[in-house]
């Protein structure tokens, strides 16, 4: 699959790297005892440390450190037993300290990798460069007053993990697959809730273009994208913009850009020539952070089974397609549902029913798996009825719709409505004879060489049976009657 973009003067290769900010799931903040919960009244979850009152000292939350280590282990990354906190200096109204405590030179997690699965089932490994812990900033509201901004420090000091990828992605679709997979791993691990709408997960996107195989182009960074759709739109816009500038003989400025969700376009941030001069230095309030190999080992042994492991199992043991396996394992709840529904059933058939019918019905009704009217056991029961020939796949769709509507069991509905598949060859033969007798002209045409009419006869027989005739048997008996006679 080629991801090259064709411009006016030839093909271009897109190079994408992502910096994802993921809010650590914890009760308290990274360096203070204030609550990290979302949705409180303004400045309610603020301690004097967060407000940067003089003389306040930060004390690190051990659980946030462990969450970062768990995430690092989930990304198969190197865990650095010694890491250092630095001050990243800049002035903004929602940053009372005048600096963000972050990790610059010595992050807690080093290189790792993450495997993405594309829609065609192909996989790619995306390199992780590092993961470090840092403080979130507060929230500024600019729409409350014509000349003032309102500041809420509830987010100030909440722990974030910044997860930096290598520039290994080559299309907007790969970038979206990367974020989706990263979110999935974080949610399996329970280290971030992955809620993009609330801002628990947001991405900065670095994009450049180059001639295939040529030297890297100049990149731009588009900040703070909080949905998969915006990430893809921002990349597509940025790629088109950069190619046009270069093909017109211009050059790309290395700059920070903003994505306008209303127009779908990126635009340059008001010129901030000093914006990147953060003057990092080790925070004198914090000693180097030491964790022991024993601690890391204990965290590693308590990790849950991760999506890639489950995916390998579903493909290896159950024979699912790469894509079905990826879809089913994206969310822990989905994987659990599948395991329960397919236990003792035709695993592949259950996967089909889940990814097509069940997800379709959930989507359409705006429901989630959590409040799904069909329990995993009941979906398994339905698939069981198909497997043992009690009902046909077509009838099963009606039964499914009924189950989704009422929450009843599959067998109960089949009994109630008399939907049992007719597998009695005598009964089917009678039906076929009726259909052939009623359509003698078409029978003659068929025998005269119009092979395609076979489908018509199958359709008629199925219709006469109210969809209940066993389609395999109809085919077989029809074939022998039409061709054999």
Partner 1 sequence: MSVDKTTVAKIARLARINVPDERLEPLAAELNGILNWIAELDEVNTDNVEPLASVTGHALPMRDDVVTDGNRLDDVLSNVPEGASGFFVVPKVVE
- For 264, what's the count of Cα atoms within 13 Å in the CB-facing half-sphere? 7
The reply on whether position 1 binds partner 1 by CB under 8 A is no
Could you tell me if 96 and 292 are in contact, meaning their C-beta atoms sit under 8 angstroms apart?
Answer: no
Using the minimum distance from each CB to partner 1, give the nearer residue, 142 or 364: 142
Q: What is the C-alpha separation between 418 and 399, in angstroms, rounded? A: 11
Could you tell me if 311 and 330 are in contact, meaning their C-beta atoms sit under 8 angstroms apart?
Answer: no
- Please state the closest distance from residue 29 (CB atom) to partner 1, in A: 9
The reply on whether position 394 binds partner 1 by CB under 8 A is no
Could you tell me if 480 and 433 are in contact, meaning their C-beta atoms sit under 8 angstroms apart?
Answer: no
Binding mask 242-261 for partner 1 (x = CB under 8 A): ----------------x---
Q: Looking at 89, 195, 218, 375, which residue binds partner 1 (CB under 8 A)?
A: 89
The reply on whether position 62 binds partner 1 by CB under 8 A is yes
Binding mask 286-325 for partner 1 (x = CB under 8 A): xxxxx-----------------------------------
Q: Quick one: which segment of 266-274, 371-379, 393-401, 445-453 binds partner 1 (CB under 8 A)?
A: 266-274
* C-beta atoms surrounding 343 within 10 Å: 12
The reply on whether position 162 binds partner 1 by CB under 8 A is no
Q: Quick one: which segment of 36-44, 129-137, 169-177, 235-243 binds partner 1 (CB under 8 A)?
A: 36-44
Q: What is the C-alpha separation between 376 and 372, in angstroms, rounded? A: 9
The reply on whether position 45 binds partner 1 by CB under 8 A is yes
Q: What is the C-alpha separation between 136 and 157, in angstroms, rounded? A: 5
Using the minimum distance from each CB to partner 1, give the nearer residue, 59 or 356: 59
* C-beta atoms surrounding 172 within 10 Å: 23
Binding mask 16-35 for partner 1 (x = CB under 8 A): ----------xxx---xxxx
Sheet of 99-102: strand order equals 99-102, 86-89, 281-282
- Please state the closest distance from residue 33 (CB atom) to partner 1, in A: 3
Q: What is the C-alpha separation between 331 and 188, in angstroms, rounded? A: 7
- Please state the closest distance from residue 190 (CB atom) to partner 1, in A: 13
Report how far apart, in Å, the C-alpha atoms of 209 and of each of 170, 212, 255, 475 are: 9, 9, 15, 56
Q: What is the C-alpha separation between 324 and 336, in angstroms, rounded? A: 14
The reply on whether position 274 binds partner 1 by CB under 8 A is yes
Tokens matching residue 264: 């779908």
Q: Quick one: which segment of 55-63, 124-132, 242-250, 445-453 binds partner 1 (CB under 8 A)?
A: 55-63
Binding site for partner 1 (CB under 8 A): 26-28, 32-35, 41-49, 51, 59-65, 84, 89, 91-93, 140-142, 144-153, 258, 269-270, 274, 277, 279, 282, 286-290
């Amino acid at each position: 699959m080629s991801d090259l973009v064709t411009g006016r003067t030839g093909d271009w290769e897109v190079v994408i790297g992502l910096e994802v900010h993921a809010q650590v799931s914890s009760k308290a903040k990274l360096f203070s005892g204030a609550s990290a919960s979302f949705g409180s009244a303004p400045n309610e979850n603020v301690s004097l440390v967060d407000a940067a009152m003089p003389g306040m000292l930060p004390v690190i939350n051990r659980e946030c450190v462990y969450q970062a280590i768990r995430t690092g282990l989930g990304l198969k990354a190197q865990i650095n037993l010694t890491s250092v906190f630095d001050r990243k200096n800049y002035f903004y109204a929602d940053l009372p300290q005048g600096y963000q405590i972050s990790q610059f030179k010595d992050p807690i997690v080093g290189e790792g990798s993450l495997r993405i699965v594309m829609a065609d089932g192909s996989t790619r490994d995306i390199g992780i460069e590092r993961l470090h812990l840092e403080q979130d900033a507060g929230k500024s509201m600019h729409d409350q007053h014509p000349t003032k901004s309102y500041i809420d420090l509830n987010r100030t000091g909440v722990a974030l993990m910044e997860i930096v990828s290598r520039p290994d992605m080559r299309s907007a679709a790969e970038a979206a697959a990367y974020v989706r997979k990263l979110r999935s791993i974080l949610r399996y691990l329970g280290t971030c809730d992955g809620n993009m709408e609330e801002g628990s997960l947001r991405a900065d996107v670095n994009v450049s273009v180059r001639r295939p195989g040529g030297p890297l182009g100049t990149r731009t960074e588009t900040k703070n994208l909080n949905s998969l759709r915006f990430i893809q739109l921002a990349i597509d816009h940025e790629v088109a913009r950069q190619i046009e500038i270069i093909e017109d003989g211009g050059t790309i400025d290395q700059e920070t850009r903003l994505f306008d969700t209303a127009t779908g376009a990126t635009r340059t941030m008001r010129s901030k020539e000093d914006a990147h001069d953060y003057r990092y230095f080790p925070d004198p309030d914090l000693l180097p952070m030491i964790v022991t190999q024993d601690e890391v080992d204990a965290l590693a042994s308590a990790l849950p089974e991760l999506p890639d492991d489950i995916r390998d199992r579903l493909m290896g043991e159950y024979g699912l397609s790469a894509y079905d396996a990826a879809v089913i394992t994206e969310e822990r709840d989905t994987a659990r549902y599948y395991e329960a529904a397919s236990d003792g059933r035709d695993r592949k058939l259950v996967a089909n029913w889940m990814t097509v019918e069940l997800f379709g019905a959930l989507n359409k009704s705006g429901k989630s798996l959590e409040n799904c009217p069909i329990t995993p056991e009941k979906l398994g029961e339905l698939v069981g009825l198909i497997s043992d020939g009690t009902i046909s796949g077509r009838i099963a769709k009606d039964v499914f719709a009924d189950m989704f509507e009422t929450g009843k069991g599959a067998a109960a509905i089949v009994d109630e409505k008399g939907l049992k598949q007719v597998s009695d060859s005598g009964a089917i033969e009678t039906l076929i004879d009726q259909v052939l007798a009623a359509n003698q002209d078409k029978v003659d045409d068929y025998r005269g060489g119009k092979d395609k009419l076979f489908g018509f006869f199958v359709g008629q027989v199925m219709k006469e049976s109210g969809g209940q005739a066993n389609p395999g048997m109809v085919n077989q008996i029809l074939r022998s009657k039409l061709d054999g006679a």
